[in-house]
Amino acid sequence: MIKKQNTLKVPIKIYYAVILSLFCMIPLFASGTEDNVQGSVVSSVGIAILAATIVGYIGHVLKQPLLLTYILAGALIGPRIGFGFIENIDEIETISHFGLILLLFLIGLEIDIKKLKEAGKSLIISGLIQFPLSVFLGIGFFLLIGYSFFAGSYDLFYLAACCSLSSTAIVVKLLYNKFELDTLAGRITLGILVFQDIWAIALLGIQPNLSDPEFWQILLSFGEGFLLVCISMLLSKFVLPRLFKSVAKIPELILISSLGWCFFICGIAAYFNLSIEMGALIAGISISTFPYNFDVIAKVVNIRDFFVTLFFVSIGMQIPNPIENTGVLVISAIVSLFLISSRFVAIFPVLYSLKNGIRVSLLASINLSQISEFSLVIATLGVTAGHIADDTLSVIIFVFVITSVLSTYMIKYNNSIQNAFARILKLMRLKDIQSDVGDEKESKGKEIAILGFHRTASSFLYEILNDKETNSSLKDKLLVIDFNPEVHHSLKKLGVKVIYGDISYIDTLYHAGIQNMKIVISTIPDTILVGTDNLKLLKQVKDICPDSKIIVTAETSEMALKMYSEGAYYVLTPRILSAKKLMTVINDATLSNSNSKDDFIKSEIESLKTHKEVIR
């Protein structure tokens, strides 16, 4: 028996006292730089990191995105609306540019071009259409509110383009926390973000030549960009594999070689008068399929985070005082509302027309309703190149702050939001997938209902279809209720009866006709279920069909016992079943005198090679 150790609990007031004292130390750093020119850069970086730490901690407590806290930290220590702890913004900007390069390099490393070939048409078509359609809507909107085309000014174009990109960092983090990255809506969301990164490459390619926007110059820029891609791809195919293989056993050299490759391609990009940020992105993409890329990402990410923190702090330092220019803040609020609305116009109709259903189409639109950190990069480069005014950058920064805060809550409650919108759309006579779901004849002759279809249910169906004794009988008794259009189409092809519906609503279960079922199964854990949980499903099914044998899923033994007490016939506990299987494998491995694999492991390997399910 393990005794419970006493842990020292620090009162929350002490944490706040430490944070306050750290903030009070910032002026000490600032005062030390007045007569020490050589140490001013180091002190400025120290002030920036200390401020980012303090505000970042407060933002973490308030559950706000860290990027926002870094920008707020910059505003607090900057000379425009803050305390003026750092007067020379250029000192931070110069160093933070490394973070920009590393950020784009890592984005490139995470883009796998091969996976795009395997994506469905919904992802590809929506990814191709979303950005140009959003730009078109943006140009029309910004023309209406007073922006216009005139020689030497590209504010309208920058605003329209920047408002068409969404935040990869914020979306991925929030969807990961909600376990929604692997859902259909999550995959489509990530796919559109990948396409946005590709569109951003094109923007970075033409950006240096906007000051001389002749057709042949733009064509030459694309030609040079294509040449840069060809050079990097050829080198990554014929030269880099041997180089990386020779140093594969030395982790430090893998890291240095990857960074060296990044800055080498950045140098070629600069030679061609292209954006070095574009070079960093291409450098990452060109080695994204290497077996070492995950190791590189793991090592570079910490270096990147340091410099990226400085980058966003420097952006915050550039925010003008909104009190001095309230017009910028008002415009930013209006633009934020337009941006959120434009996502529904540019994404929902496309996905809906491709038969993804109201739910998935709405969720993808909600998930992408914010401006990207990439937009801040593009706008910052635009100010440096003299393409746009400082007020335009301020608008983009304010829109980023506003939409990121709103998006934090929109993604958190995306299911409730889409349910509200779905009701309105259905009242407007917009048909959903299988609109005749409310017919109880759908369940006639069925005896086993599967509520929700995810990985465990997919494996269960595979076992049924490959069992010669039950294939003809058990499959015909199945009824699946799920709102994933991909599952809907795949199961129909296999001859399995499926109803499109949300199992979190008791009306869906009732109208699907499960009251006549002998067995009702829920194999999805609570962490993945949306809008309900297994205990709630158990109680609802007991009310609808009290004589059914109900099988549900629990993630803890305590919850499993509670479900048994509520009348569950069997409670599936995946971790306990996995542990029992693992014990069998360990015992066999311990008793085996041979180094060769046991026959049952070999048979499992062969089985996995031919294992094809609805959800892989």
Going by pLDDT thresholds of 50, 70 and 90, the confidence category of residue 11 is: low
Contacts of 115 (CB under 8 A, 6+ apart): none
Cβ proximity of 312 and 320 under 8 Å: no
What the block records as the tokens of 305 is 């985070």
Position 436 scores a pLDDT of 42
pTM exceeding the 0.75 threshold for the entire prediction: no
Residue 439 pLDDT: 45
Give the distance between the most distant pair of CA atoms in the chain: 87
3-state secondary structure of 6: coil
Asked whether residue 214 carries a pLDDT value surpassing 90, the answer given is no
Mean pLDDT of 29-52: 69
* pLDDT at position 14: 53
Which of the four pLDDT bands, split at 50, 70 and 90, describes residue 552? very high
- Detail the DSSP E strand segments found in 96-255: none
Query: Does position 334 have pLDDT exceeding 80, yes or no?
Result: yes
Q: Residue 143 has what pLDDT?
A: 92
Residues 509-548 pLDDT 10s: 877 788 888 999 999 998 888 778 899 999 989 988 888 9
Helix axes 534-544 and 557-565, enclosed angle (nearest 10): 10
d(CA 346, CA 164): 10
- Residue 142 C-alpha from the chain's centroid: 28
Residue 103 has pLDDT above 80, yes or no: no
Residue 198 structure tokens: 């590709």
Average pLDDT, the chain: 80
Least confident residue range of 70-74, 351-355, 429-433:
429-433
Q: How far is CA 271 from the centre of its chain?
A: 34
Q: How much is the average pLDDT of 161-186?
A: 79
Which tokens belong to 515? 């009251």
Most confident of 21-30, 249-258, 418-427: 418-427
Answer for the pair 542, 566: CB distance below 8 angstroms, yes or no: yes
Helix then strand count (H, E) for the chain reads 26, 6
Q: Are 501 and 437 in contact (CB under 8 A)?
A: yes
End-to-end CA distance of the chain: give it in Å, rounded: 41
Contact 170, 412 (CB under 8 A): no
Which position has the higher pLDDT, 29 or 296?
Answer: 296
Beta-bridge mates of residue 500: 482
Q: Percent of the chain beyond pLDDT 70?
A: 82
Mean pLDDT value of segment 106-118: 64
Residues belonging to the chain: 616
Mean pLDDT of 447-473: 82
pLDDT score at 202: 74
Whether 163 shows a pLDDT value over 80: the answer reads yes
User: What residues form DSSP beta bridges with 549?
Assistant: 519
CA-wise closest residue to 63 among 333, 407, 308, 419: 407
